[in-house]
Amino acid sequence: MKRNKENILICSVLFLLSMCCIVPLWLIISISFSAEADIVKYGYMFIPHKIDFTAYEFILKNPQQLTDSYIVTILSSFIGTALSVFIMMMVSYALSRTTFIARKQITFYLFFTMLFSGGMVPTYILITQYLNLKDSFWVYVLPHLVSPWHIVLLRTFFQKQPAALIESAKIDGAGEFRILMQIVAPVAKPVIATVALLGLLMRWNDWMTALLYINDEKLITLQYLLQKMMKDIQMFSQNVENLPQGMSLADLPSESARMAMAVLAAGPMLCVFPFFQKYFAKGLTVGAVKG
């Protein structure tokens, strides 16, 4: 009985926290479906005065561009994350093994870059002048393949693995790489999934790269496209002639468009998240050691 009471308490707290997060989401969705004139009149409301799709129409009016951006974003996010996780997994494992002689040095070497950076100008010069990555798809993938933060996460987790596990594998003559792939990784699914998720999110939300390095509109990512639209909306109020046909400036969905963009940006990732959740499942057997 005590257990039940405790459970109810726990779920209530969690529910409350969830609500704190949902309420603003609700507000944002509601605003995105409101008419601009209503927003001016009534302010932000939790239920739109009348449902209005202008904001979404405005954003989606160029489906070709949107499709291109979706494709670019999906490809770059997933390819980048897959490569990144693989590379980081390897180095994290190596760094977690106390028998690695260069362990301390490489850890420091990687970690140092988290704090010190040359800044935007030298990076830009490197990427555009020497690596010729300007207006290239690979500029989304290559520069951020290694994140020291994620490496630390992975390494910490790998370190926790019982030494017995690894030792028994070595007894049977397995090499380190095989140990990683066949023993440690399956057990480390939760943390690998976390890092993959974090990496995916980071890439999905990135608009800076497109801003700096991409001019070809076929290669811009979703986030950058949305940011651009927002700035364009602001520009429209100064350059009336560029407004799309049939739209009056007063109807220009600026508040609602901003919220619609937030919805479009966050939406896909929220749908992806449940997919990762199955890796957070409890009770992965560590039974191999028992035998």
Shortest Å distance, C-beta 63 to another protein: 15
Q: What is the Cα–Cα distance from 20 to 24, expressed in whole angstroms?
A: 7
Task: Tell me phi and psi for residue 61, to 5 degrees.
Answer: -70, -15
82 binds another protein (CB under 8 A): no
Contacts of 76 (CB under 8 A, 6+ apart): 137, 140, 141, 203, 221
Task: Give the contact letters, 198-227, x = binds to another protein (CB under 8 A), - = no.
Answer: x--x---x-----xx--x-x---------x
Q: For 236-269, b where at least 16 C-beta lie within 10 A, e where not — what string?
A: beeeeeeeeeeeeeeebbbbbbbbbbbbbbeeee
**Closer CB to another protein, 71 or 87, in the complex:** 87
Determine the interface stretch with another protein among 52-60, 66-74, 192-200 (rule: CB under 8 A): 192-200
| Subset of residues 155 to 184 that bind another protein, contact rule: CB under 8 A | 156-157, 159-160, 162-164, 167-178, 180-182
**188: Cα within 13 Å, side-chain hemisphere:** 28
Q: What is the Cα–Cα distance from 263 to 259, expressed in whole angstroms?
A: 6
47 binds another protein (CB under 8 A): no
85 binds another protein (CB under 8 A): no
**Closer CB to another protein, 9 or 51, in the complex:** 9
Q: Determine contact, residues 124/212, Cβ cutoff 8 Å.
A: yes
242 binds another protein (CB under 8 A): yes
Interface with another protein (CB under 8 A), residue from 95, 184, 219, 222: 95
Determine the interface stretch with another protein among 51-59, 67-75, 81-89 (rule: CB under 8 A): 81-89
